[in-house]
């Protein structure tokens, strides 16, 4: 199987804090990591390869430093790392990102399945996978929590919806986004890390894609960020201390007051 896994390098957002006084993100010491949701996608790709053979190619778009995320994917077991990096790709929204990635996938060669994480922890949109499906004109299945058998050019999938779990059969080639309960991503082995260090990361610039720069990156984006601000704090109320009984009584009174009981 030709398997492509799309990944992104993100700041470790759980550590990103907003400095109220200066209105800036505190970036000092915040590590750049593989988007945690993408590790499930990599694991899903590796398991498909283990079962059916083939190649797992990790693909990312980003500045040159995003190479590290691809090396991390190789350390986990991916065969190749591809980085779409070019100034004209910068500032892209999900439309322009999905277009660039789709062009890269076509450039890399035939594929059977493209696997994406549910969303990224920085942008939080979950849109790039399904938008890529439109650009590549292949079907897309989101929230996949189980990849079943691949047979006669079709794959059996299970996915989480709000009101239950759906089992589907989809033809290859296909794009899926996987949810966090699909697997437990493996840790990189020492050998994997050594291999990753030496691995060649293949670069794709717009020279290879040959696209008009005004269709890519910020120029090719339909959305524009016009303002960034800190979420307004929730107005708090009373903080009470006391014996367990006093506390229980205070909550009880509050519940009565709010007509909950």
Partner 1 sequence: MTSKAPVIVKDSCNGCGICVMACPFGAITIEAGRAVIGEGCRVCGACVDTCPSGAIEVAKVEVLDLSSWRGVLVFAEQHGSVIHPVAYELLGKGRELADHLSEPLYAVVLGKGVKPQAKELVSRGADTVFVFEDPSLESFRDDPYTDALADVCKEVKPSIFLIGATSIGRSLGPRVAARLKTGLTADCTGLDIEPETKLLRQTRPAYGGNIMATIITPNGRPQMATVRYKVMNEAKPDPSRKGEIVEKPLNRKAMTDRISIVSFEPAGDQVSITDADIIVAGGKGLGEAKGFELIRGLANVLGGAVGASRPTVDEGWIEYRHQVGLSGRTVRPKLYIACGISGSVQHQAGMRTSDVIISVNKDKDAPMCSISSLAAVGDLYEVVPRLIEKIKEYKMRG
| Site for partner 1, residues 81 to 100, rule: CB under 8 A | 87-91, 93-95, 98
Q: Which range touches partner 1 (CB under 8 A), out of 51-59, 109-117, 199-207, 210-218? A: 210-218
Site for partner 1 in 117-136 (CB under 8 A): 121-131, 133-135
Q: Does 53 bind partner 1 (CB under 8 A)?
A: no
* Torsion angle of the four alpha carbons 113, 116, 118, 122, in this order, in degrees rounded to the nearest 10: -170
Please identify which residue in 33, 56, 170, 182 interacts with partner 1, judged by CB under 8 A.
170
Q: If binding means CB under 8 A, how many residues of this protein chain bind partner 1? A: 93
Q: Does 103 bind partner 1 (CB under 8 A)?
A: no
Q: Does 149 bind partner 1 (CB under 8 A)?
A: no
Site for partner 1 in 31-50 (CB under 8 A): none
CB of 195 to partner 1, least distance (A): 29
C-alpha to C-alpha distance for 38 and 40, rounded to whole angstroms = 5
Q: Does 187 bind partner 1 (CB under 8 A)?
A: no
CB of 151 to partner 1, least distance (A): 13
Q: Does 184 bind partner 1 (CB under 8 A)?
A: no
- In this structure, the strands spanning 201-204 and 80-84 are parallel
User: 4 vs 141, which CB is nearer to partner 1?
Assistant: 141
Q: Does 194 bind partner 1 (CB under 8 A)?
A: no
C-alpha to C-alpha distance for 134 and 237, rounded to whole angstroms = 49
Please identify which residue in 21, 31, 187, 239 interacts with partner 1, judged by CB under 8 A.
239
Q: Does 186 bind partner 1 (CB under 8 A)?
A: no
Q: Does 152 bind partner 1 (CB under 8 A)?
A: no
C-alpha to C-alpha distance for 126 and 116, rounded to whole angstroms = 9
Sign of the alpha-carbon torsion through 93, 83, 111, 183: negative
CB of 39 to partner 1, least distance (A): 14
Contact 69, 8 (CB under 8 A): yes
User: 25 vs 55, which CB is nearer to partner 1?
Assistant: 25
**SS3 assignment, position 183:** coil
**SS3 assignment, position 118:** coil
> Which parts of 53-205 fold into alpha helices (H)?
67-76, 94-108, 128-136, 190-198
Contact 91, 61 (CB under 8 A): no
Q: What are phi and psi of 156, to 5 degrees?
A: -90, 130
Q: Does 229 bind partner 1 (CB under 8 A)?
A: yes
């Amino acid at each position: 199987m030709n398997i492509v896994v799309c990944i992104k390098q993100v700041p470790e957002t759980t550590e990103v804090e907003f400095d109220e006084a200066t209105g800036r993100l505190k970036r000092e010491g915040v590590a750049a990591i593989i988007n945690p949701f993408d590790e499930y996608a990599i694991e899903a790709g590796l398991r498909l390869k283990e079962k059916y053979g083939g190649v797992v190619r990790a693909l990312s778009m980003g500045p040159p430093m995003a190479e590290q995320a691809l090396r991390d994917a190789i350390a986990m077991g991916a065969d190749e790392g591809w980085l779409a990096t070019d100034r004209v790709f910068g500032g892209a929204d999900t439309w322009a990102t999905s277009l660039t990635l789709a062009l890269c996938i076509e450039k890399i060669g035939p594929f059977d399945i493209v696997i994406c994480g549910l969303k990224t922890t920085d942008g939080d949109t979950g849109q790039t996978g399904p938008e890529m499906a439109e650009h590549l004109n292949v079907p897309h299945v989101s929230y996949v929590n189980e990849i079943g058998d691949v047979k006669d050019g079709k794959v059996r999938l299970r996915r989480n919806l709000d009101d239950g779990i759906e089992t589907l059969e989809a033809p290859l080639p296909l794009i899926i986004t996987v949810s966090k309960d699909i697997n437990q991503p493996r840790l990189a082995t020492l050998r994997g890390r050594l291999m990753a260090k030496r691995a060649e990361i293949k670069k794709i610039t717009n020279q290879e894609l040959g696209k008009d720069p005004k269709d890519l990156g910020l120029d090719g984006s339909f959305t524009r960020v016009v303002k960034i601000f800190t979420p307004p704090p929730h107005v708090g109320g009373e903080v009470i201390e006391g014996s367990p009984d006093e506390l229980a009584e205070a909550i009880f009174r509050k519940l009565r007051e709010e007509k909950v009981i």
